Chains A and B, each alone.
Chain A
Amino acid sequence: MNSLEILTLTPLAAGLMLLFLHEIVPNNTREKATELIRYANLGIAIILFLLATQIGFETDWIDTWAAGNFGGQNAYVLESTPVSLISSIGVTWHIGIDALSFPMVWLTTLLIPISMLVQWDAEKGAQFHSLILIMEGALLGVFVVLDLFMFYAFWELTLVPMFFLILVWGGADRRYAAMKFFIYTFSASILMLIGILIVYFHSAPAGDFTGTLTGHHFDMVSLMQQSSLIDSAGLRMVVFLLLLVGFATKMPSVPVHTWLPDAHVQAPTAGSMLLAGVMLKMGAYGFLRIAVSFFPQETVTMIPLLVFLGMASLFYGAWVCLGQTNLKRMVAYSSVSHMGLIFLGIATMQPLGIAGALFMMFAHGLISPLLFAVCGSFKHHYHTLEIGSMRGLAHHSPFMAGHMMLGWMASLGLPLLAGFVAEVAIMIAFWMTFGWWVLIPALTLILTAGYYLWSMQRTIFEGSDPHRGILPDTMHGEEPRDITWHENVGMFILGALAILFGILPAIFFDMMSNWSSGLVSEVLIDALTQLEVTP
């Protein structure tokens, strides 16, 4: 077992065990057990974060792929020895990470303890925190496996803990939201599965990976190296579109985004943080890892579609944000808007643009959890999410107001904060490829600034009485409080990292641009020259 396998399998095993443990302890010790299980979950999550950090430090991410071998053999760090799982159909336990997946892995291990911390006092804490740990295992699995079948299995597995998090700990309308979330994303991934199966049926035998009965395999590395994966151009396009639907729904992109606002508004804070922070990125990750890498030609052909989807998400998300009165719903739509930027970054077909998209995935993964944590504590302490029902937050809860301000600023792309780096990279690349069309996304960012500043003004500052502010009716005379220490710690870490990666983006940006130039120069280049698109 190498350290990556430990990292992936520990949370699943530990989470399931702790969940089960809570069921079997006798009733009179249950209180104590709940407390212990919570600490155990947090402890394991922190240890895993340290392990991921150590993996990050001891690896040289720049040279993970050799020239001419992008995504192929030895292009992954900590690649495990393949173990046959279902040898009859060629399913293998084969994991490894590269510059595309490591930032996501690190982000996941970071967000898990923070989301536990932010909702430390959740009801039924033992189950809550164990589910989050199981969620971590499923998410890490998606990012590390190099086998299409296991990718799909982990992809679906992430739905289960999230479904229960929304359903059991969610808001008033949680049942509807959980069902919608499940059915919507599940249907989309069925389409993705069909795409994966068509790829599977076209895989050529590849040594030990090959299924003993079927003669095909699911191994991504071998598939990357297989020349002419699917001969029929029409079928290739079908598969690409099937995969695109699956991934775009997860991201989510307009017009398949409608599950997201409902799920976010009803989800518990920790659930929202993971949903926005990591789960949405699965879509972008899968798109780059599978759809773009396996079907470069179709990607290039479909650039107009990608641009359209990106623009539509970016603009529509921002436009809808302007009209929101619910704080959490606004943040949710802002996620749709930012995910649009990822499509735009990929569509530029520039190493810089793709690296910008990757950095956007990462930066949004830091910032949006911060936003949702703020929304969560706002709801927790003021029992409402209505923008404008509360004025003068800065007076009553200065820490919450401070975190809110930092988060809002980072999200709207203030220089020296992480979001800015990504936006600038994507805009420059967009200009290089599409020229003055860049004005559309650039001007849309003004809308972003608009809705954030407006909501901030109406929540944090404004108040008829500068010393009292306006308290929402839902307080029922309760004294306003500031955030608790554990919420504060969680938000502080996220805010500090948003600043750190705004000042020193090179920590991840270098390896991301290295990976992106690999993708462009090794995978996409043929398709680009063939279609006379200049990178």
Chain B
Amino acid sequence: MNIESPLLASPLLGEVLRPEMTILIGIVLLIVVPNLGNATIRIPMTKFRIPVFLGGRRFTATSDPLIPGVISMFVLLLSMAASLMTFVDGHELVNVCISASGAIQQGCTGSDYILRSDPYSRLFTTIFFFALLLGTAAMINRMPAFVDAKAPHPDDTGATRIHAIRRLLNNRRQGDFHLLILFVALGMSIVALSTHLFLLFIGLELASLAIYVLVAFMKEDETSGEAATKYFLTGSVASAITLYGMSLLYVWSGSASNYATASLSLVGPNGLAATWQAMDSIDPLAAIGFGMVLVGFGFKISAVPFHFAAPDAYSGTSAPMALILATASKAMGFAALIRILIVMAMPEYGAEATWLILVGILSVVTMTWGNLAALSTENPKRMLAYSSVAHAGYLLAALAALGSGMAGAATSRLLVTAVVFHLLVLSFFKSGAFLVLTLTEMKGDDTNKMESLYGLGRRDPIMAAAMFVFMLALAGVPPLSGFLSKFLVIDGIVTASTASGSLSAGGAIEWLSSVHWVFWLAVAMAVNSALSLFYYLRIGQVMFFETPRSIRPLPEAPMIRIAVILCLFLTVLAGLGPFSQTLVDMATMAAQELLRV
């Protein structure tokens, strides 16, 4: 028998896609394990019953409500380790592509591949899995499972009854939550891997749909439904626009009469990149399609003016979900955006990209708006949401510098490295900040008010100190990792914009007028960074100098505390010393691989 299964056709496939395979197995396990029971099927006409193990009375051991959380964390950990394998010296499958038929191309020599597992995509999957892992860890304490939860006694009333019901509810939805998290992981890694726009869209939607549900997941909170509705409506409109843009690109890539050459693949002789390069002057159809695609990713990275849902979503949902939105979801948006901007629409060296002005304006508006809005909010989660908007602006500035056509090979590599590294370290300190907020919101304090952080330094000095470090890292204070990533971005922009060799100009004014206008993005970034210090330090001020509104200590929540300490160490170590160099090297590998295409 001749089975034409891709899996059997190329045994390497399982090895290349090991992280994704692990997640698939995890999804199956999450569905199967909690449902294991003593169900049997009676063979018709006989008295024999065959056990099928699915359904019936569930086994005590496997129906433990703690199991889904364990499976999900374990799976994410394994997937992260598998993703990181790409960066280990001597690993053979560093750069592997997979064609639509499932054929494996080592070294990506072919031109018809749709998935590409290289350091670039693997670094992004590492970021996704790490952020999701932190979110999961936080949720294990935020939404704890109780083995001994019982239905409320009929005589119970009021708070006791609600408490008992909530414990039961938490047990019930463990499986759902972790299943959704794994779907997010799968969707995101498809986005990072795919070099085909349609596949990319499928990954995007897989992740997005799961995220919409997750945003609304803590439905006992009044705000989460509202947040999710807003996020869903805006997000689905953005996705629709993206899809429409893709269809326009598809039409454009083929000729009017012959759709055989039409393609949504980024690579290959008929690919969008090649068609884009071959275009003499900008085709309106291509420009409109391209712009529409950008809208969808602009929403994901919460760039102004597509950011309006983000602050509501962040502040309405639970802190662990806000963590995932701010780190993993944003990194996913950038993973795709960079692929599209750099691989598809990158001009030759010396020529300006068509999207340069668009991205440049988007960048400066985004960072300024984000910072000004963050300055004027008294809601920590909203503040972090706006700070996330501002950070998107910084990264867009780096992309604009790439599009200026002034960046040589080394500078381009530096810029992409900076962006990737920033997204990587963002998953350390931004996650850390949201994890601390998770702790504060667990005891029912309203984290949507600055008051919830008042006097945190007295209630829990270690968590407050960690939060302060995260704030400093977000502000980019040396020598924390947030500084290094911002510095690399600024360095790249300055090097690119002054590359015309006019450093010897006589006066400062002449010098300034001789640089490319992208230089001013670096200046805007520096000014914005200084501006942002005010609201980041404000968090420190209220934590240490205000009288606490509540004297209750923060909850025990060991998983969250471990995660916070881990984030703290990573934040510091990623800024200084050999570990930081390792991370930068990983980002450089990723950048090199991306620019090689």
Nearest residue (CB) in A for B514 is A232
A175 CA to B533 CA in the complex, in Å? 18
A214 CA to B461 CA in the complex, in Å? 38
- B interface with A by C-beta (< 8 Å): 410, 413-414, 417, 461-462, 477-479, 484, 487-488, 490-491, 494-495, 498, 503-511, 526, 530, 533, 545, 575-577, 580-581, 584, 588
Q: What are 20 A-B interface contacts by the 8 Å CB criterion?
A: A23-B462, A84-B581, A85-B576, A86-B479, A86-B484, A86-B576, A86-B577, A88-B488, A88-B584, A156-B478, A187-B530, A201-B494, A213-B417, A213-B491, A214-B495, A231-B503, A232-B506, A234-B508, A234-B510, A237-B508
CB distance from B382 to the nearest CB of A (A): 24
9 further interface pairs, Cβ-Cβ under 8 Å (given A86-B484, A86-B581, A232-B510): A85-B479, A186-B533, A187-B530, A201-B495, A216-B491, A232-B505, A232-B507, A235-B511, A238-B508
Nearest residue (CB) in B for A89 is B487
Determine whether the beta carbon of B417 is less than 8 Å from that of A232: no
What string of 1s and 0s marks CB contacts (under 8 Å) between A212-240 and chain B?
A: 11111000000000000011111101100
Determine whether the beta carbon of A88 is less than 8 Å from that of B581: yes
Determine whether the beta carbon of B478 is less than 8 Å from that of A153: yes
A83 CA to B119 CA in the complex, in Å? 29
Determine whether the beta carbon of A232 is less than 8 Å from that of B503: yes
Q: Does A190 contact B (CB under 8 A)?
A: yes
Q: Does A152 contact B (CB under 8 A)?
A: yes
Chain B interface mostly: helix
CB distance from B539 to the nearest CB of A (A): 15
Determine whether the beta carbon of A214 is less than 8 Å from that of B414: yes
A167 CA to B540 CA in the complex, in Å? 13
A88 CA to B511 CA in the complex, in Å? 27
Q: Please indicate the chain B residues that have their CB under 8 angstroms from the CB of A156 in the complex.
A: 477-478
Q: Please indicate the chain A residues that have their CB under 8 angstroms from the CB of B417 in the complex.
A: 213
Q: Please indicate the chain A residues that have their CB under 8 angstroms from the CB of B503 in the complex.
A: 202, 230-232
- A interface with B by C-beta (< 8 Å): 23, 84-89, 91, 149, 152-153, 156, 167, 175, 186-187, 190, 194, 197, 201-202, 212-216, 230-235, 237-238
Determine whether the beta carbon of A232 is less than 8 Å from that of B575: no
Q: Please indicate the chain B residues that have their CB under 8 angstroms from the CB of A234 in the complex.
A: 505-511
Q: Please indicate the chain B residues that have their CB under 8 angstroms from the CB of A216 in the complex.
A: 491
Q: Please indicate the chain A residues that have their CB under 8 angstroms from the CB of B577 in the complex.
A: 85-86
Nearest residue (CB) in A for B588 is A213
Using A234-B510, A234-B511 as known contacts, say yes or no to A213 and B504 having CB atoms under 8 A apart.
no
Using A232-B505, A235-B511 as known contacts, say yes or no to A214 and B478 having CB atoms under 8 A apart.
no
A216 CA to B498 CA in the complex, in Å? 14
A213 CA to B575 CA in the complex, in Å? 15
Candidates B490, B575, B588; contact of A86 at CB < 8 Å: B575
Q: Please indicate the chain B residues that have their CB under 8 angstroms from the CB of A89 in the complex.
A: 484, 487-488, 491
A187 CA to B498 CA in the complex, in Å? 26
Using A85-B576, A214-B414 as known contacts, say yes or no to A167 and B507 having CB atoms under 8 A apart.
no
Using A214-B414, A232-B511, A234-B507 as known contacts, say yes or no to A153 and B479 having CB atoms under 8 A apart.
yes
Nearest residue (CB) in B for A236 is B508
A284 CA to B484 CA in the complex, in Å? 28
CB distance from A10 to the nearest CB of B (A): 19
Nearest residue (CB) in B for A233 is B506
CB distance from B587 to the nearest CB of A (A): 9
Nearest residue (CB) in B for A200 is B491
Q: Please indicate the chain A residues that have their CB under 8 angstroms from the CB of B575 in the complex.
A: 86
Q: Please indicate the chain B residues that have their CB under 8 angstroms from the CB of A88 in the complex.
A: 484, 488, 580-581, 584
Q: Please indicate the chain A residues that have their CB under 8 angstroms from the CB of B484 in the complex.
A: 86, 88-89
Q: Please indicate the chain A residues that have their CB under 8 angstroms from the CB of B545 in the complex.
A: 167, 175
A23 CA to B463 CA in the complex, in Å? 13
A388 CA to B477 CA in the complex, in Å? 46
A233 CA to B504 CA in the complex, in Å? 9
Q: Please indicate the chain B residues that have their CB under 8 angstroms from the CB of A187 in the complex.
A: 530
Nearest residue (CB) in A for B503 is A231
Q: Please indicate the chain A residues that have their CB under 8 angstroms from the CB of B478 in the complex.
A: 149, 152-153, 156
Q: Please indicate the chain A residues that have their CB under 8 angstroms from the CB of B504 in the complex.
A: 231-232
Q: Please indicate the chain A residues that have their CB under 8 angstroms from the CB of B495 in the complex.
A: 201, 214
Q: Please indicate the chain B residues that have their CB under 8 angstroms from the CB of A212 in the complex.
A: 581
Using A86-B575, A89-B488, A152-B478 as known contacts, say yes or no to A235 and B508 having CB atoms under 8 A apart.
yes
A243 CA to B442 CA in the complex, in Å? 48
Candidates B461, B462, B584; contact of A213 at CB < 8 Å: B584
CB distance from B537 to the nearest CB of A (A): 8
CB distance from B303 to the nearest CB of A (A): 26
A233 CA to B508 CA in the complex, in Å? 8
A274 CA to B576 CA in the complex, in Å? 29
CB distance from A214 to the nearest CB of B (A): 5
A87 CA to B580 CA in the complex, in Å? 9
Using A86-B479, A88-B484, A232-B511 as known contacts, say yes or no to A213 and B414 having CB atoms under 8 A apart.
yes
A85 CA to B584 CA in the complex, in Å? 13
A153 CA to B506 CA in the complex, in Å? 32
CB distance from A237 to the nearest CB of B (A): 7
Q: Please indicate the chain A residues that have their CB under 8 angstroms from the CB of B508 in the complex.
A: 232, 234-235, 237-238
Q: Please indicate the chain A residues that have their CB under 8 angstroms from the CB of B510 in the complex.
A: 232, 234
CB distance from A148 to the nearest CB of B (A): 11
Determine whether the beta carbon of B461 is less than 8 Å from that of A87: no
A391 CA to B384 CA in the complex, in Å? 57
Determine whether the beta carbon of B491 is less than 8 Å from that of A214: yes
A237 CA to B509 CA in the complex, in Å? 12
Using A23-B461, A86-B484, A213-B488 as known contacts, say yes or no to A194 and B576 having CB atoms under 8 A apart.
no
CB distance from B140 to the nearest CB of A (A): 26
A212 CA to B417 CA in the complex, in Å? 12
A156 CA to B530 CA in the complex, in Å? 14
CB distance from B531 to the nearest CB of A (A): 11
A54 CA to B448 CA in the complex, in Å? 57
CB distance from B481 to the nearest CB of A (A): 10
A186 CA to B576 CA in the complex, in Å? 22
Q: Please indicate the chain A residues that have their CB under 8 angstroms from the CB of B533 in the complex.
A: 186
Q: Please indicate the chain A residues that have their CB under 8 angstroms from the CB of B505 in the complex.
A: 232, 234
The 10 closest A-B pairs by CB, nearest first: A234-B507, A234-B508, A231-B504, A88-B584, A238-B508, A235-B508, A153-B478, A214-B491, A87-B581, A232-B511
Nearest residue (CB) in B for A84 is B581
A84 CA to B479 CA in the complex, in Å? 13
A85 CA to B504 CA in the complex, in Å? 31
A265 CA to B465 CA in the complex, in Å? 28
Q: Please indicate the chain B residues that have their CB under 8 angstroms from the CB of A230 in the complex.
A: 503
Q: Please indicate the chain B residues that have their CB under 8 angstroms from the CB of A87 in the complex.
A: 581
Q: Please indicate the chain B residues that have their CB under 8 angstroms from the CB of A194 in the complex.
A: 526
CB distance from A22 to the nearest CB of B (A): 10
Q: Please indicate the chain A residues that have their CB under 8 angstroms from the CB of B588 in the complex.
A: 213
